[in-house]
Amino acid sequence: MAYFYSSTVLNKIISVIRLSANKSFLLIAGILSCFILPACNNKEKKEAAAAKPSGPPTSKVDAYIVKTTPLTDNLELPGSIIANEETAINPEISGRLVYLNKSEGRVVGKGTLLAKIYDGDLVAQLNKLKVQVQVAQQTTKRYEELLKINGISQQEYDLANLSINNLQADINIVRSNIMRTEIRAPFSGTLGLKNISSGAYVTPQTIITTIRQNSQLKLDFTLPEKYSNKIRVGQLISFSSEGNKKNYNAKIIASESGVSEENRSLKVRTLVTNNDGKLLPGQFVKVRTTFDPDPDAIMIPSQAIIPQARGKKVAIYRNGIANFEDVITGARDSANVQVTNGLKVGDTIITTGLMSLKPGGKVELNKIKQ
């Protein structure tokens, strides 16, 4: 049997079916939400509880047990060669040069005439004074004869003698000024290059040349303050220069009376003992010093030192806690640093993971080096 419906009836039937389906879907969704949402909330609470940290994590680090070891402290320091004697040659008075020694770069003896300033006026003054002395002496001789016959008083005779003495004193002054026009070598040595020519007008500020005594050389270098009590007069050092493979020796002869406030170092002077003529004043050299070894030096790995704005620190392991302590360091080599204050034998210092450590933080030791 076949049934036929109009389009209007069919549309109403379809609308009723869709409405029924939507109500059923909403009913099922409501029932499911009552079970699903609480379950999701419980899961999120469990995950949040699991993600919340229970406390600071324990750092796993390596450590080193402090002990003593013999230390030979060798230093390499910069130094400068200086002449045994050295000075600039300046005139004592102003005037025109009438003579200049041409021995540039040559050795001259002590007292050698190096330059001469015009002294014609001084020589004329000297001759005049000599004539005045002769006249005064003749006058005094006549006064002496007159004094015997009471022709003059004793006072007049004494004044005549005083005049002679004054003239003699003036002669000595002029002679001294003439000597000052002669510029002579103060000691035996090698002349430097001349800075002026004959005929130039010079003053006491003019440097004519220099003179150095290179037959014996000295070496100056500066020593860090902490080593100032380890040197002694007579101690030997070695040094070398650029472009010269030979090792030279020098003996400490003196040091400054105090440490420089500018660089906290002590200036030391030595005498070169095996000069072969290849060293020159002003030359840069590398000085090597060797001090008596310290049998009980505390050396720790370099990576254990924590630089600070003022000073240095190390992290010490005590009962599972990292404690930061100030230390004072000394000599160092490629892998280790000497600690002169702040540590004692048996301390356990942390050598790794220092960047993540905090004072009082918990640590766990992985490996201990002894």
| CATH number of the domain within which 358 lies | 2.40.420.20
pLDDT at residue 49 in the model: 47
Residues 34, 76: Cα–Cα separation, whole Å: 84
Q: Who contacts 13 (Cβ-Cβ below 8 Å, separation ≥6)?
A: 5
> Quick one: angle between helices 154-180 and 120-148, nearest 10?
160
pLDDT at residue 332 in the model: 78
264 pLDDT exceeds 60? Answer: yes
3-class SS at 91?
A: coil
pLDDT at residue 276 in the model: 86
Residues 289, 268: Cα–Cα separation, whole Å: 12
207 in a structural domain = no
Q: Indicate the DSSP class of residue 56.
A: P
pLDDT digits (tens, 9 = 90+) for 105-121: 899 999 999 999 999 99
Radius of gyration of the chain (CA): 49
Same domain, 137 and 191: yes
pTM of the model: 0.58
Instruction: Give the least confident one: 6-20, 163-177, 330-344.
Output: 6-20
Same domain, 310 and 337: yes
87 in a structural domain = no
pLDDT at residue 11 in the model: 54
360 in a structural domain = yes
Range of the domain at 148: 92-202
pLDDT digits (tens, 9 = 90+) for 299-343: 899 999 999 888 899 999 998 898 999 999 877 777 888 898 889
Taking residues 56-65, what's their average pLDDT? 83
Domain boundary among 168, 202, 236: 202
Domain boundary among 267, 290, 313: 290
| CATH number of the domain within which 239 lies | 2.40.30.170
Same domain, 99 and 187: yes
Same domain, 194 and 275: no
258 pLDDT exceeds 80? Answer: yes
Q: How confident is the model at residue 138 (pLDDT cuts 50, 70, 90)?
A: very high
Q: Who contacts 222 (Cβ-Cβ below 8 Å, separation ≥6)?
A: 77, 260, 263, 265, 266, 267, 268
64 in a structural domain = yes
340 in a structural domain = yes
Same domain, 138 and 170: yes
